[in-house]
Structure 1
Amino acid sequence: MMTAKVFRSPARHGYAVEVSPFLPNRVACVSSQYYGIAGCGTLLVLDETETGVALVRSWEWSDGLFDVTWSETNEHIMVAGGGDGSLQLWDTANPNAPLRVAKEHTQEVYAVDWSQTRGENLIVSGSWDQTAKVWDPALSQSLTTLRGHEGVIYSTIWSPHIPGCFASASGDGTLRVWDIKAAACRLAVPAHKAEILSCDWCKYDQNIVATGSVDCTVCVWDLRNVRQPVNQLQGHSYAIRRVKFSPFSGTVLASCSYDFTVRFWDFSLNQPLLDTVEHHSEFVCGLDFNLHVPNKVVDCAWDETVKIYTPACLSAGAHNTA
């Protein structure tokens, strides 16, 4: 029986979680009042303990918060994206206010991500204003603005392999791959006939990207041949809010959905669905794998909870990692 450690955040509906790249027991979560439709947002920093999940620090923001990313160079620093079009730079050592606020986007910032490739220290943001922006870590002003999507941008994720390259997913149904040195879109994939809410890169193969859509499917793409997906993962009954590849296996990924479930997949198998976790009573919006502890997962939902657990399908011996 799978057990989860639970943190409750009353009147705050979870939108995104990310495990620290430095501290194996530390998680950042962004949440919003009133399901993000109105009200303010809260950024939570949580630590998993032997008995549960403890609050380290929290900050209020004047608008909903929709995504969060940890610095890859400083264990105390995070960036969050807000409903007011802002990115805020937060420091766990500074209890009062953000270190900096950058407000160039004209609508909600729904995606933020910190680059992971060596010798590069950049942030990318994606907004409902249909633009993606690349920033230096001080958030002084954006370095470049990328246009091309014809719908809301829901997801922007750096390639873990290729410097200066990120993927974006949009309400226009396309997955796009961008080269920031050329400030150009290198590839536009008509990946779904519906809005795409999430994308993620495989940690083991620079050519593999997954997309999660309102059409209830996860598609796995090989960027060298995008005429059709490598696999189409079916099982969710409502929109897929987020997809994440495992850091410990080249073919395992997770997805969370408005159907209240988190599903685990191995796209190399004929029967790719490994497990369905049903432990939330509302939309599941945030999802991440722990980079330090194999097969440990954290998620958050609109039911005001953050949960940390190891799904049975990934626990010792249940699945061979690549």
Structure 2
Amino acid sequence: MQESHSNESQIQIRLVTKQSEYAVPDIPLSVPANIETAGLNELLNHLLKENKPDFLKQKQFDFLASGELVRVSLIEHLQERSVSVETTVEVEYIQVTPAPQPEDSILHEDWVAAIETANRWMLIGCYDHSVSIRTPHGKPVTSSKEHKNIVKDVAWVDQQQPSKGLVSVSHDLTGILWAWEEGTDKIEPRVKLRGHERGIDTVAVSPNSNRLATGGWDTNLKIWSASLDGDDNGEPASKKKKGPSDISTRTPIHTLNGHKECISSINWTNNHVLYSASMDHTIKFWDAELCGIKNEIVDQKAFLSSSWSALSNTLLASSADRHIRLYDPRSTEGSVCKVMFTSHTLWVSSVAWSKYSEHLFLSGSYDSTVKMWDTRSPKAPLYNLQGHEGQVLVVDWSNSKYLVSGGTDNYIHIFKNKQIFK
């Protein structure tokens, strides 16, 4: 019973870790029931000094019990999860994820709607109709205003090889495939994507860079060739050489119908399967080859953004109710919604998984905040990244080193990630 645990009560624990450089003997240890993270850190650092002669500098660790980070006293944490303290409790420890450090703030000419970083470059879509490229430190590289309305989303055709081109989509009903000579100001619109009847809100490129998908306010999901040259399917249309100012027009390979409201977000899970999140309260998984729905997630609110993790095969989605939910579409037990993250006070406009950790992600909200989360701490974010004075429209973590956000204050904020997990 809860009241039987006094300040002198003890719990048997075993300290374990997957980070072998910090491993200590996993023998049972007796600790005060009301021990908190600070006390566990003191104990662990003492054990490290005893067992590792070359361990000189004290380090900070987080502790997990029952799969979640301990944020209260150990006995409270265990009781909240109905974990018995009559047997030895396994407590895992991991080095604390350090706070991201402010790197740069870049003032843009208008609202920043879309950002995707690559190795050394940052691709930006803006409400001033522009598509631009900068370095991660904010230095301008090139910019163009080929679109006739706001640019809502951008993507590299191949993040590892930016010279393979980029794509942008706009409320002018078109997408544009661009050629870019890496590191120069030579950016050239090569292919115009025509087929949507209303504004386009989102674009995503398949992992093999062969296909791209678009969606928006006409509720249709459209699949296109991602080739910079050729006809509708990316095949060579003619041997006739085109001039540098010529833009070919491409129509979609497939149009997939099924949503009833705007498609707000698209992600490919592999080269043949993609999903679309919509304001009609559904997330639909599609077979891109057979052009049919494979699976569907239905929830209570309009979906505003989503992100797929190839590391955990799960997706994050934010809704118009201020919450972020983690879904496992493969789940056969209980709800496919596994965790809900609550901290924002207004709509969550953008979420982005880390590419190097299956537990870390970013969120941005109309409440002007950007938050860094660990999925094992659903009740509170790891860090609040300050800086925005308007609604946050986009967050991006495509490059492991940089956490980037943009919004209605016309600013792009760049934070440096201090720790890269292997």
Q: Shorter-chain TM-score: what band?
A: 0.7 to 0.9
Q: 1:72 aligns with which of 188, 207, 227?
A: 207
Matched residue type, 1:32? H
Deviation at 1:191, TM superposition (A): 3.4
Q: Give the corresponding residue for 1:155.
A: 305
1:30 aligned onto 2:165: no
Distance in 1 of aligned mates of 2:222 and 2:396: 24
Alpha-carbon shift at residue 172 of structure 1 (Å) = 1.1
Cα RMSD (Å) = 2.0
Structure 1 232/80 Cα, relative in aligned 2: closer, same or farther at 3 Å?
A: same
Aligned twin of 2:260: 106
Residues of 1 paired with 2:187 and 2:210: CA distance? 19
- In structure 2, list runs of 5 or more residues that go unmatched: 1-137, 233-248
Contact (CA 8 Å) 2:272, 2:289: kept in 1 or not?
no
Partner of 1:299 in structure 2? Answer: none
Matched to 1:185, the amino acid is C
**Partners of 2:380 and 2:420 in 1: CA distance:** 26
Which of the residues 310, 320, 323 maps onto 1:171? Answer: 320
Give yes or no for the alignment of 1:90 onto 2:239.
no
Partner residue, 1:9: 146
Task: Determine if contact 2:356/2:420 at 8 Å carries over to the other structure.
Answer: no
Quick one: distance in 1 between partners of 2:359 and 2:250?
Answer: 42
1:151 Cα deviation after fit: 2.6
Report the CA distance shift for 1:102/1:10 in structure 2 as closer, same or farther (over 3 A): closer
1:140 aligns with 2:140: no
2:153–2:168 CA contact under 8 A, matched in 1: yes
Structure 1 residue 76, shift from structure 2 partner:
3.4
1:279 alignment partner in structure 2: none
User: Which is helix-richer, 1 or 2?
Assistant: 2
Residue 204 of structure 1, CA deviation:
1.3
* CA-to-aligned-CA distance 1:44-75 (integer Å, 9 cap, x gap): 101212332101101222111000011113x3
**Aligned residue identity for 1:66:** D
> Quick check: 1:46 aligned with 2:178?
yes
Structure 1 residues 256 and 133, CA, compared in 2 at 3 Å: closer, same or farther? same
**Residue 214 of structure 1 corresponds to which residue in structure 2?**
366
Matched, 1:240 2:392: yes
Residue 275 of structure 1 corresponds to: none
Q: How far apart are 1:10 and its partner, in Å?
A: 4.3
Question: 2:269 aligned with 1:115, yes or no?
Answer: yes
Cα distance between partner residues in 2 of 1:12 and 1:27: 18
Higher-strand-fraction structure: 1
Determine the C-alpha separation between the residues in 2 that align with 1:139 and 1:132.
Answer: 18
What SS does the corresponding residue of 1:181 show, helix, strand or coil? coil
Q: Judging changes above 3 Å, is the alpha-carbon distance between structure 1 residues 144 and 97 closer, same or farther for their aligned structure 2 residues?
A: same
1:102·1:139 contact (CA, 8 Å) conserved in 2? Answer: no
3-state SS of paired residue (1:161) = coil
CA distance in 2, matches of 1:246, 1:144: 27
CA contact (8 A) 1:233 1:267 kept: no
Deviation at 1:181, TM superposition (A): 1.3
Task: Please tell me the residue identity of whatever aligns with 1:222.
Answer: D
Using the size of structure 2 for normalisation, the TM-score is: 0.57
2:408 alignment counterpart: 258
Distance 2:291 2:384 in 1: 41
Higher relative contact order (CA 8 A, sep 6+): 1
> How much has 1:205 moved relative to structure 2?
1.0
Q: Which amino acid aligns with 1:133?
A: K
d(CA) in 2 for partners of 1:228 and 1:96?
Answer: 46
Residues 203 and 57 of structure 1: is their aligned pair in 2 closer, same or farther, counting only changes over 3 Å? same
Any gaps of 5 or more consecutive residues in structure 1?
Answer: 34-40, 269-319
Question: Over residues 154-213 of structure 1, what are the superposed CA-to-partner deviations in whole Å (9 max), with x where a residue is unaligned?
Answer: 1121113013x1111111111111111127111111231210010001111110111100
The amino acid that maps onto 1:174 is: H
TM-score normalised by L of structure 1: 0.74
Larger Rg: 2
Verify the 8 A CA contact 1:84 1:108 in the aligned structure 2: yes
Query: Residue by residue, what CA displacement relative to the aligned partner does 1:251-271 show, whole Å, maximum 9, x if unpaired?
Result: x31001011111101365xxx
Q: 2 CA distance for matches of 1:76 and 1:248? A: 24
Task: Count the aligned residue pairs.
Answer: 256
SS in 2 for 1:11: coil
Identical pairs, percent: 21
Letter paired with 1:197 = S
Determine the C-alpha separation between the residues in 2 that align with 1:237 and 1:267: 22
1:129 alignment partner, one of 272, 276, 280: 280
